[in-house]
């Protein structure tokens, strides 16, 4: 069985926040090793993002700051977010893979996945946070809009709230954002009452519930967000720290649950392309299992 293509960039492995940091290159190394053994898997090298695509989301002076910080060898942007000398190159590679996967899907190629790091859903317009430098999924959403997709649905199943994504789209009625996340937990945002211009659908959930309750809650939220509003493309902020046993999360999902979720999205939107983008997940072997399960759902 052929799986949808996985887009990545070699520079994503070069970003290294340092020894002991949970967002380590090993997350992506293990995934790529697994895809190399997976029947039907295809990994494609993406080009780096063009700056014109990124400045739709982040201002030029912020990009200059990231460039300069990397050029001088890196540095600590906050307690969690640390750059080395190749972090800006990695950020361009991650955004580029997100863009190439989106272009592939929009241009009729089918579903796709972007295996990238650093992740993106905590990044604010002018500030990095929570391991994230650029809002990859919003860069992809803006690209889809530029390519003619009038309505974009972003679904975030990372265990942490995508506060950056929400902040970047909450005034844009063409983009709807559904996030199911652990509450209370980092970053402390994502209450159900946060609605943007009616386009934000947050589902804060406690840790430790039965798996089925998380699956049902997310599917219910997606149904609510798309009632009488059918997206032209679905982008998934695919964080696998929502798997049971992740060191930074308290959800109980298993890999097969992502297959179930993706198949439910396909049933609901049968002619709509779906693009997954890797976000969190800090047990590398489990991340690989989760991504493969997602690809099986898209196959």
Q: Mean pLDDT across the stretch 144-149?
A: 98
What does the pLDDT read at residue 265?
98
The 10s digit of each residue's pLDDT in 194-230 is: 999 999 999 999 999 999 999 999 999 999 999 999 9
Q: DSSP states of 58-88 as a string?
A: S-HHHHHHHHHHHHTTEEESSSS-EEETTHH
**CA dihedral sign of residues 284, 13, 71, 59:** negative
Flag whether pLDDT at 156 surpasses 90.
yes
Catalytic residue among 9, 111, 121, 122: 122
Q: Strand, coil or helix: what is 186?
A: coil
Token look-up 């997602």 returns 294
Neighbours of 37 (CB within 10 A): 9
The 10s digit of each residue's pLDDT in 97-106 is: 999 999 999 9
Q: Is 161 part of the annotated catalytic residue set?
A: no
What does the pLDDT read at residue 28?
98
> What is the spatial distance between Cα 210 and Cα 229, in angstroms, rounded to a whole number?
30
Buried b (16+ CB within 10 A) or exposed e, 225-263: bbeeeebbbbbbbbbbbbbbebebbbbbbbbebbbbbbe
The 10s digit of each residue's pLDDT in 252-281 is: 999 999 999 999 999 999 999 999 999 999
To the question of pTM greater than 0.95 for the whole model, the response is yes
Those residues with Cβ within 8 angstroms of residue 108's Cβ, 6 or more apart along the chain or in another chain: none
Q: Identify the band that residue 1 occupies on the pLDDT scale cut at 50, 70 and 90.
A: confident
- Options 3.65.10.10, 3.40.800.20, 3.40.50.510, 3.90.850.10; CATH of 6-298: 3.40.800.20
The 10s digit of each residue's pLDDT in 83-142 is: 999 999 999 999 999 999 999 999 999 999 999 999 999 999 999 999 999 999 999 999
Give the DSSP H or E segment for 128. Answer: none
């Amino acid at each position: 069985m052929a799986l949808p293509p996985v887009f990545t960039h070699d520079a994503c492995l070069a970003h290294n926040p340092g020894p002991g940091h949970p967002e380590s290159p090993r997350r992506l190394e293990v995934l790529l090793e697994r895809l190399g053994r997976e029947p039907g898997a295809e990994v494609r090298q993406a080009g780096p993002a063009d700056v014109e695509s990124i400045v739709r989301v982040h201002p030029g002076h912020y990009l200059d700051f990231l460039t300069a910080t990397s050029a001088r060898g890196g540095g600590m942007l906050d307690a969690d977010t640390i750059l080395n000398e190749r972090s800006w190159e990695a950020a361009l590679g991650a955004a580029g893979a997100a863009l190439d996967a989106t272009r592939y899907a929009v241009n009729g190629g089918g579903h796709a996945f972007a295996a990238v790091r650093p992740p993106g859903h905590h990044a604010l317009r002018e500030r990095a946070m929570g391991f994230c430098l650029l809002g990859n999924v919003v860069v992809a959403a803006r690209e889809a809009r530029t390519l003619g997709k009038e309505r974009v649905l972003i679904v975030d199943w990372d265990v942490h709230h995508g506060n950056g994504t929400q902040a970047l789209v909450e005034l844009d009625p063409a983009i709807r954002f559904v996030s199911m996340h652990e509450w209370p937990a980092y970053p402390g945002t994502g209450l159900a009452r946060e609605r943007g211009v009616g386009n934000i659908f947050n589902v804060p959930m406690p840790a430790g519930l039965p798996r089925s309750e998380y699956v049902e809650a997310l599917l219910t939220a997606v149904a609510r967000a798309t009632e009488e509003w059918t997206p032209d493309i679905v982008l998934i902020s695919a964080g696998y720290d929502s798997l049971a046993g992740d060191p930074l999360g308290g959800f109980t999902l298993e890999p097969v649950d992502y297959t179930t979720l993706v198949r439910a999205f396909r049933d609901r939107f049968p002619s709509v392309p779906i693009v997954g983008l890797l976000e969190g997940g800090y047990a590398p072997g489990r991340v690989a299992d989760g991504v493969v399960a997602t690809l099986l759902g898209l196959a």
